[in-house]
Amino acid sequence: MLRTLIHNPVAGARRARRLGAVLERLEQRHGAVVTLRATGGRGDAEAMARAVAPGAFDAVVAAGGDGTINEVINGLGARGGGETTIPLGIVPLGTANVLAHELDLPLDAEGVARVLAEGRTLPVHLGVANGRAFAMMAGAGLDARVVERVDTRLKRLIGKGAYALETLARIAAGGGGPYRVAVDGGEPVEVASVIVAKGHFYGGRFVCAPDARLTDPRLHVCLFPRSGRGNALRYLWGVTAGRLPRFPDYRVLPARRVIVEGPAGEPVQGDGDVIGHLPVEIALAPWVLPVLAR
């Protein structure tokens, strides 16, 4: 069993010991041969995944947060996708680890190593936003502005709390939008924020799109219609309290193709990192990614 493991040492800084324990179990208990490569900066994980020689490894493992995993996914996608795609494995070392939660991956070293060695492969349908693949979600509006501005040093220090503080700061600052969202060629609707989900979890284990599933070839468009600080706080409370899907003004539409327009140059987030700017066309990726899961 041959695995190449692409590690973001910044994402994993607080959890370096967990990665060591995973490697030890993989090699000693499961007899895996692991090649470890560390990234040196943004874009490295994608280039490393893209450069894996065909047939050299039977899985490419991303060790980091959702941003690192997203890069590896794009690197694997750039290889052409299709039947020959190398399976993706995950060592969750990030702040929110939304994809790991969505896949119900174990977080302990023993469990992570077992999935990487013996897990089944799950066919994951990806989204693609202006050519960049995403596994969990892409969006424009409040959450994209939060992702753009969140202080990375604070994230390393206090984890998810940095997102909470930045969300409150962005709500207080106001502005942004409105966005016009056209679903499957229909008339555009105007909203204050939009999230296009592939998975049902958001920001950890909060639920935005209850019916979205990674293995389902559909996008779920989450529409936050009302603008203003009061409504932004109300939606935020709805997400954190698990009430959002029951809000009468909140809507989730299944879709295959979504176009979002708004103030030119506003950020678009994908899997928790800025992956582009408006306007954006979001669709399903033309390839399916095999992902190692329980």
Ligand X SMILES: Nc1ncnc2c1ncn2[C@@H]1O[C@H](COP(=O)(O)OP(=O)(O)OP(=O)(O)O)[C@@H](O)[C@H]1O
Q: How many CA atoms lie within 13 A of 30 on its CB side?
A: 23
Q: What distance in Å separates the CA atoms of residue 126 and residue 274, rounded to the nearest whole number? A: 17
21 Cβ contact partners less than 8 Å away, ≥ 6 residues apart: 109
Mark residues 117-156: x for contact with ligand X by CB under 6 A, - for none.
Answer: --------------------------------------x-
Q: Would you count residue 95 as binding ligand X (CB under 6 A)?
A: yes
Q: Would you count residue 65 as binding ligand X (CB under 6 A)?
A: yes
Which residue of the chain is nearest ligand X when measured via CB? 65
Q: What distance in Å separates the CA atoms of residue 245 and residue 254, rounded to the nearest whole number? A: 14
Encode burial over 66-86: b for 16+ CB neighbours within 10 A, e otherwise: bbbbbbbbbbbbebebeeebb
Q: Cβ distance 96 to 65 under 8 Å?
A: yes
For the segment 216-245, give every residue that binds ligand X (CB under 6 A): none
247 Cβ contact partners less than 8 Å away, ≥ 6 residues apart: 234, 235, 238
Could you tell me which stretch among 8-16, 27-35, 177-185, 194-202 binds ligand X (CB under 6 A)? 8-16
Q: Would you count residue 39 as binding ligand X (CB under 6 A)?
A: yes
By rule CB under 6 A, what count of residues binds ligand X? 22
CB of 66 or CB of 266, closer to ligand X = 66
CB of 193 or CB of 269, closer to ligand X = 269
Largest CA distance in the chain: 58
Q: Would you count residue 272 as binding ligand X (CB under 6 A)?
A: yes
Could you tell me which stretch among 93-101, 114-122, 191-199, 243-251 binds ligand X (CB under 6 A)? 93-101
Binding residues for ligand X, rule: CB under 6 A, are: 8-11, 39-42, 44, 64-68, 71, 94-97, 155, 272-273
